[in-house]
Structure 1
Amino acid sequence: MASASPRDEAAFNEAVRVREATVAYFRADWCEPCAQLDAVFDQLAADHAASCAFVRVDAEELMAVSERYGVDALPAVVVLREGKEAGRLGGVTAPALVELVAKLAAEAEAAKVAPLPASAPPTASPPSSASLDDRLKALVSSAPTMLFMKGSPDAPRCGFSRQIVELLRAEGVPFGHFDILADEDVRHGLKAFSNWPTYPQLYAGGKLVGGLDIVRELKEEGELKDALAS
């Protein structure tokens, strides 16, 4: 099994000692956002089992563990190194979790590379297209409906992004989002990945629906919900 679900504090302690880096996901059955993150966490655990350990924590059942790491709101994700906190996500969303795991995987991969001899100074190289494609595939599938925009739904940073958010909200469509201004690799890479030159970009089921004009047209024709459900 790619992720562990310890039933007591001792089992948790053992689980987080297995690997150098552990992603501890604190959740509860009653927490609605957790229900949405569960599948994403499981998929990431399956895809990146070679990079770090993944541990699900029932926050109420393992109250002592939750208190140890100051978890007072769910869902929460804490990165552990040898059992000690090395980072955490506040306001966990599926895209943020995908980004976090991608970063940990990249760090683990870099650590496997032997250092160059002293006579040959290291040179920086951009992320490989293969690793970026993997990130983009995970991101576009991180929510059933996924919007790549400038800014956030509550604070759009361009008029087109604001308009597409208004269309989706008017239709009552829940969606994940990613601020492409926060990541240059994603901002430029997604254009080639989708063969779509502008933003915003809307995806459903991991497949491109289109930009603002396409979404507006689907809305006017009464086909938007069907297009996003396909």
Structure 2
Amino acid sequence: MAKVVELVETQNDFNKIISESKSNLSVVHFAAAWAPQCQQVNDVLTELSKNTKNIRFLQLEAENIPEISEKYEIIAVPTVIFIKNGEKVDRLDGANVAELSKKVKKWATGAGQINTAPPKQDLNTRLKNLINQSPVMLFMKGTPTEPKCGFSRQTIQILNDNKIKFGYFDILTDEEIRQGLKTYSNWPTFPQLYGNGELVGGLDIIKELVETGELASSLGVVEQPDLNERLKSLINSSPIIVFMKGNPQEPRCGFSRTLVSLLNAEGVKYSTFDILSDDEVRQGLKAYSDWPTYPQVYVKGELIGGLDIINELKETGELKSTFNME
């Protein structure tokens, strides 16, 4: 019987817990320390965990494990995801504690049990869904940050060197998928790389495509512009642009929330870019601007600074002139 909400701190720990839970339900709370609604949700889950059998209750900081947050399409906190047999079976967005209690009790009594198709048909459906989960999909051993075999490590390096964005599935977490995909693809080894739902091949084929310059076209990938050119284009896409976590309606960190509130109060018209939606931009802009934190504010392509600088400009009365509002 679950007694507490377990805090998950790493992607590996999360994958291990989900794998170990097997047919039992896992209730996963995607939270943020700066959001008071998350504490309310966590209190409710703590109480529910005391009186619920065969359900594992987890909490993780959504911003600290972005790979997991992206996998489950977390766009705001709190969000609760219900996972069974390694698959998402339900979700609840927001701090609706009454609906949360209702969903947990429904799954605890088995009312939410999924009707499955015969094993063979169901497996093929799962494989098709996984293969088409991303335009470029890699089935590998381990994860991109911690590959568990040399062939997977080399494949990740090639994809990164060629700036190809891809989804992935760790075949070590699901033996049914691991064995089923060998038959489904008629390819006995891993990693396996798919483009637009079609098998491209393993590491040897990928290396050949790199040598002939056909990797991107074989995957159906349009070559991405140079990162610096992307950043210049984004910075100059609006007279005033804020690179922040989340958006003005749903900021996802306290600094971003304070900044947009300040700008709104001063009547500043601005555009925003959610750096949580694009890790390449998030990491690249730090080096490009030589500014390690977010939010970042640009005016006519020039970096003004972060929240502390904007606060100083307000206190000295220079905010409107800096933003050309006078």
Q: CA deviation at 1:201?
A: 0.3
Q: 2:186 & 2:72 partners in 1: Cα distance? A: 21
Match of 1:14 in 2: none
Match of 1:193 in 2: 184
**AA aligned opposite 2:194:** Y
CA deviation digits over 1:84-123, x for unaligned, max 9? Answer: 997568523438989423699xx7235x9xxxxxxxxxxx
Q: 2:123 & 2:59 partners in 1: Cα distance? A: 22
Q: CA deviation at 1:202?
A: 0.5
Secondary structure of the structure 1 residue equivalent to 2:114: helix
**Cα pair distance change 1:185/1:94, threshold 3 Å:** same
Given the alignment of the two structures, is residue 219 of structure 1 paired with residue 206 of structure 2, yes or no?
Answer: no
Secondary structure of the structure 2 residue equivalent to 1:152: coil
Structure whose CA Rg is larger: 2
**AA aligned opposite 2:113:** A
**Among 105, 114, 120, the residue aligned to 1:109:** 114
**Among 123, 136, 139, the residue aligned to 1:148:** 139
Q: CA deviation at 1:69?
A: 3.0
Secondary structure of the structure 2 residue equivalent to 1:154: coil
Runs of 5+ consecutive residues of structure 2 not aligned to the other structure: 1-30, 43-47, 61-67, 74-80, 91-106, 222-326
Q: 2:219 & 2:139 partners in 1: Cα distance? A: 15
**Cα pair distance change 1:175/1:89, threshold 3 Å:** farther
**Among 130, 143, 161, the residue aligned to 1:170:** 161
Match of 2:87 in 1: 100
Q: 1:102 & 1:192 partners in 2: Cα distance? A: 26
**Among 30, 41, 48, the residue aligned to 1:69:** 41
TM-score (norm 1): 0.52
**Cα pair distance change 1:101/1:227, threshold 3 Å:** same
Q: 1:189 & 1:89 partners in 2: Cα distance? A: 32
Given the alignment of the two structures, is residue 157 of structure 1 paired with residue 148 of structure 2, yes or no?
Answer: yes
**Cα pair distance change 1:67/1:95, threshold 3 Å:** closer
**AA aligned opposite 1:200:** P
**AA aligned opposite 2:199:** L
Q: Percentage identity across aligned positions? A: 43
- The CA RMSD measured in Å over matched residues stands at 3.7
**Cα pair distance change 1:69/1:100, threshold 3 Å:** farther
Q: CA deviation at 1:204?
A: 1.2
TM-score (norm 2): 0.38
Q: CA deviation at 1:65?
A: 6.0
Given the alignment of the two structures, is residue 202 of structure 1 paired with residue 207 of structure 2, yes or no?
Answer: no
Given the alignment of the two structures, is residue 183 of structure 1 paired with residue 177 of structure 2, yes or no?
Answer: no
Greater Cα shift, 93-102 or 216-225: 93-102
Match of 2:14 in 1: none
